[in-house]
């Protein structure tokens, strides 16, 4: 075995030399049955014996890391894969800038690092739990397969964090690894740690929005952790990012296909007013204003995952060299930020104003700003489809103050343009911005399974190309 190829001989595929690390191997083998129990209880409901055309990581070589084959999900080879070690890697930021990256955890940063790893780890099974019932209403076998691919890889990302806990954190790491299997998304007594991961993902438009917006938070946070001075965390996150790209592809193309189908149906029926919701719904497609409301919901819930705009936790993690900025290496500054400032939107006397804040404390805000830029790229692609169909409507991300539960704006009610509303106005206008009960019922009425190979539900266009270049009628899931 070398670092690029993966050892598949044991119970746990890996490229971290588990075969010669008896202690960690045994700890992971002890954790494994609990994981499988969790997967069977909380993973995709009703499809555990179906054969799914999945990709499995067989290498960490960017040129050819995955193979595709039919697999029953409980037999998926969840493995531990780290990107290759970079010879002589140095810490790129914070107080330890220029020092050799750590292969072991410095004692003084142990608690901080454990918290970051546990939070990251907690989101992975949470998303599988949130998506547990979606298979039953899949609009095609292609989409069903993509859902399951995302699910098994989130499971693998849990393994990635659990490996770090078991290898580097001793008894408390083992306890945290157990607790990751105990918490449940949305459970009032044992919820998942971050808000957005306790929300429901009730329908496929939500799934596409979640994989577009929330998995993109995953990308940003993993990019920031991939900068870590703790080398095993950096290497783990670098490989996770390879898989994450597909999840965001599922989200971006999923929403594109919904938008496309709506526009096509409107054109065929000669409807030019996108706000004539009743008429558009008669066509059995999702009207553009409702798609906008779903985007408002998922974008705002995801912004909460960046934490408070001003955060000592974020400052400490950066200063310690544990969590960097998005693409730290491309930034042109001292990478220590002791003296600099960064513009932060604050709520002052009921008004939203920009304020220069110490750059170190504003790191959550900065990552969130980078995230918003990234989000807008896909939104403009959705809008291109609408434009090409000659419809006068543009999807727009709401203001960052809209519908917030964490940070500066959780104390106010802002509309999608950032105007501060009174509580009464907010209550009255809420369903102008967010899906109403009626919108939800309508979407739910469309969620009828379409499981015939090569067929798609009427509210979504087929994809441009198949997975692994498979032809249109390919049977991505053999349902059993």
444: which residues sit within 8 A by CB, 6+ positions away? 202, 203
Tell me which residues in 377-416 interact with ligand BYC (CB under 6 A).
Answer: 406
Candidate residues 18, 51, 194, 391; the one interacting with ligand BYC per rule CB under 6 A: 194
Beta strand 420-421 pairing with 413-414: antiparallel
User: In this structure, are residues 275 and 293 in contact, taking their beta carbons and an 8 Å threshold?
Assistant: no
Distance CA 419, CA 363 (A): 25
Task: Give strand pairing partners of 70.
Answer: 53
- Tell which residue, 152, 91, 123, 157, has the closest CA to residue 329: 91
Annotate each residue in 297-316 with x if it binds ligand BYC (CB under 6 A) or - if it does not, as one string. Answer: -------xxxxx--x-xx--
Binding window for ligand BYC (CB under 6 A); candidates: 212-220, 333-341, 434-442, 466-474: 212-220
Count interface residues toward ligand BYC (CB under 6 A): 25
Question: Counting Cβ atoms within 10 Å, is residue 437 exposed (0-12), middle (13-18) or buried (19+)?
Answer: exposed
Stretch that binds ligand BYC, among 215-223, 257-265, 371-379, 447-455 (CB under 6 A): 215-223
Which residues, 160 to 189, sit near ligand BYC by CB under 6 A? none
Q: Do 417 and 312 form a contact (C-beta atoms < 8 A)?
A: no
Give the shortest CB-16-to-ligand BYC separation in angstroms: 21
Residue numbers 98-117 binding ligand BYC by CB under 6 A: 116
The least distance separating ligand BYC from the CB of residue 425, rounded to whole angstroms, comes to: 26
Q: Residues 221-260: x/- map of binding to ligand BYC (CB under 6 A)?
A: x---------------------------------------
Pair 122, 180: CB distance under 8 Å: yes
For residues 53 and 144, is the Cβ–Cβ distance under 8 A?
no
Candidate residues 124, 153, 176, 287; the one interacting with ligand BYC per rule CB under 6 A: 124
**Interacting residue with ligand BYC among 50, 151, 214, 292 (CB under 6 A):** 214
* Interface segment toward ligand BYC; rule CB under 6 A; list 104-112, 138-146, 216-224, 289-297: 216-224
CA torsion 333-336-339-342 (nearest 10°) is: 70
Q: Verify binding: residue 364, ligand BYC, rule CB under 6 A.
A: yes
CB of 123 closer than 8 Å to CB of 215: no
Residues that bind ligand BYC (CB under 6 A): 116, 119-120, 123-124, 127, 154, 194-195, 214-215, 217-218, 221, 304-308, 311, 313-314, 323, 364, 406
């Amino acid at each position: 075995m070398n670092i690029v190829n993966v050892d598949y001989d044991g119970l746990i595929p890996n490229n971290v030399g588990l075969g010669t690390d008896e202690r960690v191997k045994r700890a992971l083998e002890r954790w494994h049955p609990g994981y499988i129990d969790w997967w069977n209880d909380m993973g995709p409901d009703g499809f555990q014996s179906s054969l799914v055309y999945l990709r499995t990581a067989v290498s960490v070589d960017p040129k050819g890391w995955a193979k595709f084959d039919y697999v029953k999900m409980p037999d998926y080879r969840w493995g531990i894969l780290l990107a290759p070690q970079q010879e002589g890697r140095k810490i790129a930021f914070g107080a330890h800038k220029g020092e050799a990256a750590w292969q072991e955890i410095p004692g003084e940063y142990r608690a901080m690092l454990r918290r970051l790893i546990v939070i990251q780890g907690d989101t992975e099974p949470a998303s599988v739990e949130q998506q547990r019932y979606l298979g039953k209403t899949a609009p095609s076998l292609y989409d069903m397969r993509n859902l399951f691919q995302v699910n098994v890889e989130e499971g693998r990302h849990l393994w990635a964090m659990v490996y770090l806990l078991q290898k580097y954190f001793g008894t408390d790491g083992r306890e945290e690894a157990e607790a990751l299997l105990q918490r449940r998304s949305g459970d009032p007594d044992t919820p998942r740690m971050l808000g957005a991961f306790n929300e429901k993902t009730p329908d496929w438009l939500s799934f596409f929005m979640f994989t577009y917006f929330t998995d993109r938070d995953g990308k940003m946070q993993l990019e920031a952790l991939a900068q870590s001075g703790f080398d095993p965390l950096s290497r783990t996150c670098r490989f996770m990012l390879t898989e994450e790209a597909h999840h965001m592809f599922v989200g971006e193309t999923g929403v594109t296909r919904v938008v496309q189908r709506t526009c096509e149906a409107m054109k065929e029926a000669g409807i030019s007013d996108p706000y004539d919701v009743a008429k558009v719904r008669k066509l059995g497609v999702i009207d553009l204003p409702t798609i906008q409301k779903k985007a408002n919901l998922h974008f705002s819930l995801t912004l909460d995952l960046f934490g408070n705009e001003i955060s000592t936790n974020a400052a400490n993690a950066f200063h310690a060299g544990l969590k960097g900025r998005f693409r730290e290496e491309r930034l042109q500054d001292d990478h220590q930020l002791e003296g600099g400032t960064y513009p932060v939107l604050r709520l002052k006397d009921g008004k939203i104003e920009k304020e220069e804040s110490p750059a170190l404390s504003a790191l959550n805000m900065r990552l969130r700003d980078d995230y918003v830029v990234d989000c807008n790229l896909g939104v403009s692609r959705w809008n291109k489809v609408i434009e090409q169909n000659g419809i006068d409507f543009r999807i727009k991300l709401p203001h960052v103050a809209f519908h917030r539960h964490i940070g500066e704006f959780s104390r106010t009610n802002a509309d999608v343009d950032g105007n501060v509303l009174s509580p009464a106005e907010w209550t009255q206008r809420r369903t102008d911005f967010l899906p109403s009960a009626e919108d939800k019922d309508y979407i739910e009425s469309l969620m009828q399974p379409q499981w015939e190979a090569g067929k798609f539900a009427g509210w979504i266009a087929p994809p441009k190309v198949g997975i692994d270049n498979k032809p249109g009628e390919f049977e991505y899931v053999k349902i059993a």
